[in-house]
C-alpha cells in the first residue's frame, strides 16, 4: 500500500551538465519555495501523514540556493528531518562560490547527507570533485557525503569513446588516492555493489548501480529474468514533487509519466492521497503487483521481445500502454 515517508522536491530542471543517461525533462521549470512550504504545512498538519523526511533533487538543486534555504528553514520549524540533496558537485564557478553556497545551506540548518552523482556519464573533472568533497567535509563534517555511481554503458557512452574511459571502480580508486583514503569494495560480477573510501576520520560510501533504460529502448529487454519485486515498496514510498509542480509517487524515472501523477503542489496532502487512491497505476504498483501485467500485455500483444530485471523500466512500459483491468 502507498504510505509515503518522505517528500523529495525536484527543485529545478536547470542543470549545468547534459548527461546521456538522464531522463529529466529539460524544459525550464522551477518550483516555488512558497508553494513547497505551503505543501509541507499541509503534510505537517495532517493526522494521517507518515512523512518524516525531506530531500532535494533536480536538475541541479544547488542552482536554486534560495529555494533550498527557505524550504530547509521551514522544514526544521515543522520538525521534519532531512534525507539528502543530490548534486553533480560541479555546478560552482569558483572556490569562493562553492564555499559560500554550501555555507548558506549549512547555516539554514541542513544536517542531512550530500549525495554526489559521480561517474563517466556525468564526466566531471576529478580535480573539481576533489575540491567539492573536501569543501563539503570542511563545512558539514567528514561523514556527510555519499556517492552514487552508474556503471559504464558502452552503448550509451559511444560518442564519448567509452572504450577508453576508466571503469567506475577505477575512477573511485583514483579518487580515494587523491583524497589519501583507503579503498575497499564489495562488488559483484555484474559490477554492481558498494565501495568505501575511508580512514580513521573519514567515511565515504559509493553505491554502484546499473544504468536504467526507458521502455522504448531495446537495451531494456536484454535480461535473463524478470524483476523480483512486484510492488514499489522501498523507493516507492515517496512523494516526488517535479519541478513542474506535478506530484508523483516514488523516485524512479517512470514517475515522469503523467499516468503516475497524483496531484499538484498547490493541492493539499489529503487531496494528493485521495487522488492516489483513485489512480489506476497506483493500484497496479502498490496493490495488484506489476508482475501481473506481464501476462496481460503479452495477451494483448503489447509486450516487447525479451525480459527486464528493472521494475522501473516495466513500470514505464505499463504507464505508456493502455492497460486493461484484470477481472
Residues 225-266 have pLDDT tens digits of 998 877 776 668 999 999 999 999 988 889 999 999 999 999
CA dist 284 and 259 (Å) reads 11
* pLDDT value at residue 11: 96
The answer to which of 147-161, 214-228, 275-289, 301-315 has the lowest mean pLDDT is: 147-161
Query: What are the start-end ranges of the E strands in 96-188?
Result: 113-117, 145-150, 182-187
Q: How confident is the model at residue 165 (pLDDT cuts 50, 70, 90)?
A: confident
Q: Considering all CA atoms of the chain, what is the largest pairwise distance in Å, rounded to the nearest integer?
A: 62
CA dist 84 and 107 (Å) reads 16
The answer to which of 26-30, 162-166, 212-216, 218-222 has the lowest mean pLDDT is: 162-166
Report which of 255, 256, 208 is spatially closest to residue 232, judged by C-alpha positions.
255
**Residue 3 confidence (pLDDT) above 70:** yes
What are the backbone dihedrals phi and psi of residue 28, each rounded to the nearest 5 degrees, phi first?
A: -65, 115
* pLDDT value at residue 323: 47
Mean pLDDT confidence for 75-93 = 97
* pLDDT value at residue 192: 79
**Residue 325 confidence (pLDDT) above 60:** no
DSSP 182-239: EEEEEE-TTS-EEEEEE-SS-EEEEEEEPPP--TTSGGGGBBSS--S--S--STTSEE
Mean pLDDT confidence for 290-314 = 91
Average pLDDT, the chain: 90
What are the backbone dihedrals phi and psi of residue 140, each rounded to the nearest 5 degrees, phi first?
A: -100, -15
Report which of 186, 199, 208, 194 is spatially closest to residue 117, judged by C-alpha positions.
208
Residues linked to residue 240 through DSSP beta bridges, in sequence order: 8, 248
Helices 33-45 and 65-77: crossing angle in degrees, nearest 10, is 20
Region at 283 (left for phi over 0; alpha for psi -120 to 50; beta for the rest)? alpha
- 286 vs 28: which has the higher pLDDT: 286
* pLDDT value at residue 327: 38
* pLDDT value at residue 235: 67
Instruction: Provide the whole-model pTM.
Output: 0.92
Amino acid at each position: 500500500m502507498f504510505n509515503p515517508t518522505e517528500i523529495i522536491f525536484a527543485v529545478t530542471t536547470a542543470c549545468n551538465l547534459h548527461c546521456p543517461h538522464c531522463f529529466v525533462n529539460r524544459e525550464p521549470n522551477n518550483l516555488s519555495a512558497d508553494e513547497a512550504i505551503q505543501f509541507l504545512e499541509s503534510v505537517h498538519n495532517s493526522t494521517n501523514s507518515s512523512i518524516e523526511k525531506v530531500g532535494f533533487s533536480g536538475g541541479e538543486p544547488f542552482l536554486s540556493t534560495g529555494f533550498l534555504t527557505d524550504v530547509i528553514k521551514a522544514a526544521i520549524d515543522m520538525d521534519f528531518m532531512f534525507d539528502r540533496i543530490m548534486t553533480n558537485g560541479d555546478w560552482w564557478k569558483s572556490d569562493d562560490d562553492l564555499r559560500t553556497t554550501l555555507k548558506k545551506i549549512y547555516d539554514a540548518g541542513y544536517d542531512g547527507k550530500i549525495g554526489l552523482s559521480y561517474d563517466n556519464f556525468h564526466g566531471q573533472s576529478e580535480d573539481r570533485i576533489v575540491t567539492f568533497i573536501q569543501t563539503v567535509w570542511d563545512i558539514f563534517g567528514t561523514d556527510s557525503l555519499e556517492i552514487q555511481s552508474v556503471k559504464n554503458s558502452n552503448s550509451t557512452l559511444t560518442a564519448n569513446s567509452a572504450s577508453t574511459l576508466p571503469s567506475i571502480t577505477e575512477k573511485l580508486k583514483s579518487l580515494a588516492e587523491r583524497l589519501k583514503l583507503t579503498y575497499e569494495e564489495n562488488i559483484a560480477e555484474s559490477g554492481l555493489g558498494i565501495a568505501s573510501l575511508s580512514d580513521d576520520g573519514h567515511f565515504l560510501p559509493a553505491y554502484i548501480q546499473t544504468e536504467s533504460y526507458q521502455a522504448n529502448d531495446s537495451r531494456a529487454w536484454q535480461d535473463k529474468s524478470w524483476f523480483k519485486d512486484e510492488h514499489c515498496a522501498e523507493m516507492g514510498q515517496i512523494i516526488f514533487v517535479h519541478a513542474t509542480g506535478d506530484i508523483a509517487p516514488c523516485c524512479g524515472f517512470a514517475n515522469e509519466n503523467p499516468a503516475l501523477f497524483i496531484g499538484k503542489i498547490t493541492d493539499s496532502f489529503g487531496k494528493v492521497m485521495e487522488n492516489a487512491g483513485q489512480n489506476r497505476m497506483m493500484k497496479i504498483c502498490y496493490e495488484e503487483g506489476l508482475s501481473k501485467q506481464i501476462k496481460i500485455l503479452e495477451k494483448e500483444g503489447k509486450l516487447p521481445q525479451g525480459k527486464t530485471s528493472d521494475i522501473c523500466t516495466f513500470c514505464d512500459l505499463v504507464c505508456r500502454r493502455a492497460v486493461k483491468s484484470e477481472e
